[in-house]
Amino acid sequence: MEKNKNGRKKKKAIIVLADGTVVHGEGFGAVGEVDGEFVFNTGMVGYVESITDPSYWGQILIQTYPLIGNYGVNPEDFESDKPKIRGFVVRECIETPSHKNSVMSLPEWLEKESIPGISRVDTRMLTQRIRVKGTQLGILKVYYEDESIDVDELLEKAKRVHDPNRRNLAAEVSTKNIIEHAPIKENGLSIVLMDFGVKKSIILNLLKLGFRVIQVPHDTRVDKIMDLEPDGILVSNGPGDPAILDYAFKTIRGLIEYGIPIFGICLGNQLISLALGASTYKLKFGHRGQNHPCIDLETDRVCITSQNHGFAVSKESIEDSRLKLTHLNVNDGTVEGVEMEGKPVFGVQFHPEASPGPLDARVYFEKFMKLVEKSKGIV
C-alpha cells in the first residue's frame, strides 16, 4: 500500500450530503465517520480558535480560505479545552507548519483528538451550494486507501442524519460546576457568567477589566445566581437553536427584575431578546467569519466584526417587544444588537472579544463595565 511522506498509510475521505452531493478527497486527522451540519467560515486565519469554539458543537466546518494549517497548532489559541467541531473540510492542509509557537501540525492534532478531516476538495463549490440551498446535513468519512466503502449506503444514511440543532447543544458544552476566575487586576466587582458554551477570550476580556468572574452552568436558577451577589451578568455565546432554551430566557427575565446590568453576546443576545418578547429564526447559511460590517444606529459608526451564528433575532418581532434595535448587519440587514428601554440590559450578535479578528467591537466590554460601575455608584 502507498504511504505518505511520514511513512503512514494514506487516507482517503468522502463527503456525502443529504441532498445527494458526493465529494471525494484526501483524508487527514482521525480515521472514522461523523455526521452533522455542514457550515462554512470565511476567515483567513484563526482555524485553531474556530476548531475549539464551542459554538461549532454539532457542526462540520468548511474553511473557505484555501490554505489551512500553515502556522500549526498553538494551545494558547484554544477557545476551550479541546476541539468542538465534528469534522474539518479544507482545500489544502499543510502537514509541515512553520511558526515558533507551533507544538504540532494540524493533521497530528486532529488525529490525536479523533476529529476526521478532508482536503483536496473544492471548498468554493461546497460553499456556493450551502449559500444557495442553505446549511446541509451530511456525513464525513475518513478511511484508509485499501478499504472499500459503499457510497449508496452512505447516501441513504445521509438522508437520515439527525439535525443537531434539535438537541440542547448548549447544555452539552456548558460547565457542569461553578468556576471562579481571578482578575488580572482587581476592581472589586464580580460578574456572573452564564455559560452556554463560552469562549475563553470572553472570560479573558472580563478579567483584563478587573472583574472577578463566576462561571455558572447553563441551567443555574435565579436564586442561585443572586446568592453569588453579582454586580453584573454576562450571557455567553453558544451553539444551537436559542428557542430550545426556554428555561434560560425565563431565568434572564427574572434577573432583569433585579436591575443588574446584563450583557449578552451572540446566543446571549438572542436569549435576552427572547426573554423580552422578541423571536428568533434560523438563517439560511449563517454568519461565520471575521469581516462582517455592522452599523451602530445611534452613532452611524460601522465596525468590522467577528461572527459565528446560525440563528438571528427577528427584526419585525422587536417592534412588539420591550427592546429597541441598536445594530444592523450592513450586508443583509439582520439584527446585530438590541437594548432594553429603561434597564441596563443590552446584547450584540457579533463577538466583541474577536479572537482572532478585528478589534473594533472591544468597546462593548467597556460599555458593560460603565453600566456596572454606574449601577454601583462608582461613576
Q: Per-residue pLDDT tens for 8-17?
A: 789 999 999 9
Whole-number mean pLDDT of the chain?
Answer: 96
Q: Is 49 a catalytic residue?
A: no
Q: Quick: pLDDT tens for 214-248.
A: 999 999 999 999 999 999 999 999 999 999 999 99
Confidence of residue 359 (pLDDT cuts 50, 70, 90): confident
CB 119 within 8 A of CB 140: no
Q: Could you tell me where in the chain the CATH 3.40.50.880 domains are found?
A: 170-375
Averaged pLDDT, 338-342: 95
CB 11 within 8 A of CB 31: yes
The share of the chain scoring above pLDDT 90, in percent, equals 94
Whether the pLDDT of residue 158 is over 90: the answer is yes
Averaged pLDDT, 27-46: 97
Whether the pLDDT of residue 307 is over 50: the answer is yes
Whether the pLDDT of residue 303 is over 90: the answer is yes
Confidence of residue 4 (pLDDT cuts 50, 70, 90): low
* Residue 242 CB partners (closer than 8 Å, separation 6+): 249, 267, 270, 271, 274, 280, 311
Q: Higher confidence at residue 26 or residue 360?
A: 26
Whether the pLDDT of residue 205 is over 60: the answer is yes
User: 93, 266, 294, 303: which is the annotated catalytic residue?
Assistant: 266
Cβ neighbours, 10 Å, residue 98: 9
Collapsing DSSP to helix, strand or coil, 291 comes out as: strand
Q: Is 351 a catalytic residue?
A: yes
**pTM assigned to the model:** 0.95
Residues across the chain: 379
Amino acid, single-letter form, for residue 89: V
Averaged pLDDT, 102-128: 98
Burial of 70 (0-12, 13-18, 19+ CB in 10 A): middle
Q: Which CATH architecture has domain 170-375?
A: 3-Layer(aba) Sandwich (3.40)
Residue with cell 429597541: 324
Q: What is the distance between the alpha carbons of residues 226 and 214, in angstroms, rounded to a whole number?
A: 12
The share of the chain scoring above pLDDT 70, in percent, equals 98
Confidence of residue 185 (pLDDT cuts 50, 70, 90): confident
DSSP, residue by residue, 300-326: --EEEEEEEEEEEE-HHHHTTSSEEEE
- CATH topology classification for 11-164: Glucose Oxidase; domain 1 (3.50.30)
Instruction: Give the pLDDT of residue 5.
Output: 58
Instruction: Give the pLDDT of residue 1.
Output: 46
Averaged pLDDT, 87-96: 97
The DSSP element (H or E) to which 218 belongs, if any, is: none
Confidence of residue 201 (pLDDT cuts 50, 70, 90): very high
Q: Is 294 a catalytic residue?
A: no
Averaged pLDDT, 34-58: 97
Q: How far apart are the first and last CA of the chain?
A: 71
Q: Could you tell me where in the chain the CATH 3.50.30.20 domains are found?
A: 11-164
Listed in order, strand segments (DSSP E) in the chain are: 11-17, 22-29, 32-41, 59-63, 67-68, 87-89, 92-93, 116-119, 136-144, 179-181, 190-194, 212-216, 232-235, 262-265, 280-296, 302-313, 323-329, 335-340, 345-348
